[in-house]
Amino acid sequence: MPVSRSLLARGFVRVLAATAVALSVITLAGQVLQLRMADAEGTRGVIIAIILITLLSGPAAAVLALALAWRSWDRNDARALATFLALTAFVLSGDGVWWLMTMARAPEWLRSVTDLSIPVCALAGMTAMLRFSCSFPRPLTPAELADGGSRARRVLAAAQRRSLDAAAVRRVATGSILGLILVPESIRIVAEVVGRPLPNFTLLKYIVFGMLLSSMAVSALNLRAGYRGADADGRRRIYWVLEGFLLATGIAVLASLLKVLQDATGYVPPLRFWYGLSMMAAFAALLACVAIAMFYAGALDPALAIRRTAVAGLVGVAMVVTFATLEQVLQGYLGQWLGLSDRVGGILTGVGVGLTFEPLRTRTATFVEGVLARWTSAPSPASSPTSAPVLEAGARVEPA
């Protein structure tokens, strides 16, 4: 990558990440205002859940992108990941765009034009995500992509081989942005301005979501192939990234299938924004795993690694936030269902969620401690020869 182009891309990532943080602040301010005006417990619970997930998603992705942009921009995989995270941060903070346009009292057509930046960044992020999956922890080769087995496996292998061609992926993304978003939506916006409104292009939205889910699945398969072909140190570096992509892909695919079923049947769920919350939760899980890979395993840059106690503390904070989110969401619905007061509903919900949540928290903490201990403990005499490089690598990324 030429120096001038690299510097331009680096500046773009920094500006986009900073913009995402600013939009998150605007979103939080708007949600807090809605929270004060909400009169139903169910509504307040949903708003609090949105606030907490907003805090865990957009700003977190922006911070990760900025860390890579400042410290590890010389690596190809770090550049691709930083670009993906910056674009993802903007998408996850997209509600801030709507709040900004609302506060500015912008005309409807300008709001619609500005809203197009969200799906455009999503498809652009797909390109960076695929680029990262093909280059981390080392460049993937076509020979590592097995194409045997079922027809579905052969189709996925063909898609993986296609993703190795960066120029082809960029062409597909550019064509999709123009043909599926900018051109048809521009026509619809102009038609609405001149007084001849057109229906929403729902089919195109399904195609865009299908492309995003497919790119997530292909990225997860690419990382899995990279994990299988990596040495001990490479597997240590890619482990948490792979887990994050697998978890996020599973949540996103399941939520999307339920969304399609909902649209087909016309069912109206009690929680209106459940699909958006599910997608934000999927990316929050991905970001958590990427953060562990970056700041504990030193996956992208050993200089970014922090100590084991800090990672365990972050996991504890994430569990507390998850508890608070569940408690607030369930409290409103329990109060509406049983006709309980705010105080009684809060007590019953807190006790119920606490009794259920404590065993989960204990098992999660034990699992995390066990995984971290395997990377930081000295190898025992009975350790296998293949485990020593992993333990030594884990010790190298932890600063003194």
pLDDT, tens digit (0-9, with 9 covering 90-100), for 56-65: 788 889 989 9
pLDDT score of 308 more than 70:
no
What are the structure tokens assigned to 296, written together?
A: 């504990």
Contact 249, 285 (CB under 8 A): no
Average pLDDT of the chain to the nearest whole number: 76
Q: Lowest-pLDDT range, 28-37, 193-202, 331-340? A: 331-340
Residue 183: what pLDDT? Answer: 92
Q: How is domain 3-305 classified at the CATH fold level?
A: Rhopdopsin 7-helix transmembrane proteins (1.20.1070)
Residue 131: what pLDDT? Answer: 93
Listed ranges 68-77, 80-89, 101-110, 291-300; the one with the highest mean pLDDT: 80-89
Residue 146: what pLDDT? Answer: 65
Q: Lowest-pLDDT range, 15-19, 123-127, 136-140, 376-380? A: 376-380
Residue 380: what pLDDT? Answer: 37
Which pLDDT tens digit goes with each residue over 106-164? 888 888 888 889 999 999 999 999 999 999 888 888 887 766 667 777 788 888 888 99
pLDDT score of 174 more than 90:
yes
Q: What is the mean pLDDT of residues 191-196?
A: 86
Listed ranges 6-15, 143-152, 304-313, 322-331; the one with the highest mean pLDDT: 6-15
Residue 317: what pLDDT? Answer: 56
pLDDT score of 288 more than 70:
yes
| pLDDT-based confidence at residue 361 (cuts at 50, 70, 90) | low
Number of helical H runs and strand E runs in the chain:
15, 0
Using CA atoms, how far apart are residues 5 and 108, in angstroms rounded to an integer? 36
Using CA atoms, how far apart are residues 240 and 243, in angstroms rounded to an integer? 5
| pLDDT-based confidence at residue 334 (cuts at 50, 70, 90) | low
Segment holding 338, helix H or strand E: helix 308-338
What are the structure tokens assigned to 340, written together?
A: 């309980």
Q: What is the mean pLDDT of residues 271-287?
A: 83
Contact 143, 305 (CB under 8 A): no
Residue 379: what pLDDT? Answer: 38
Using CA atoms, how far apart are residues 347 and 44, in angstroms rounded to an integer? 16
Read off the DSSP letter of residue 144.
G
More confident residue, 135 or 29: 135
pLDDT score of 302 more than 60:
yes
Read off the DSSP letter of residue 40.
S
Residue 383: what pLDDT? Answer: 37
Residue 374: what pLDDT? Answer: 55
Rg from Cα positions in the chain: 23
| pLDDT-based confidence at residue 389 (cuts at 50, 70, 90) | very low
Three-state DSSP at 136 gives: coil
Residue 355: what pLDDT? Answer: 57
Cα angle value 101/81/172 (rounded, 5°): 75
Residue 335: what pLDDT? Answer: 54
Contact 299, 283 (CB under 8 A): no
Where are the domains positioned within the chain?
A: 3-305, 306-400
| pLDDT-based confidence at residue 391 (cuts at 50, 70, 90) | very low
pLDDT score of 100 more than 70:
yes
Percent pLDDT > 90 in the chain is: 19
Three-state DSSP at 141 gives: coil
Three-state DSSP at 224 gives: helix
Q: Lowest-pLDDT range, 107-121, 179-193, 316-330? A: 316-330
Closest Cα to residue 242, out of 133, 338, 96?
Answer: 133
Residue 26: what pLDDT? Answer: 85
**Measured on CA atoms in the order 279, 285, 291, 294, is the torsion positive or negative?**
negative
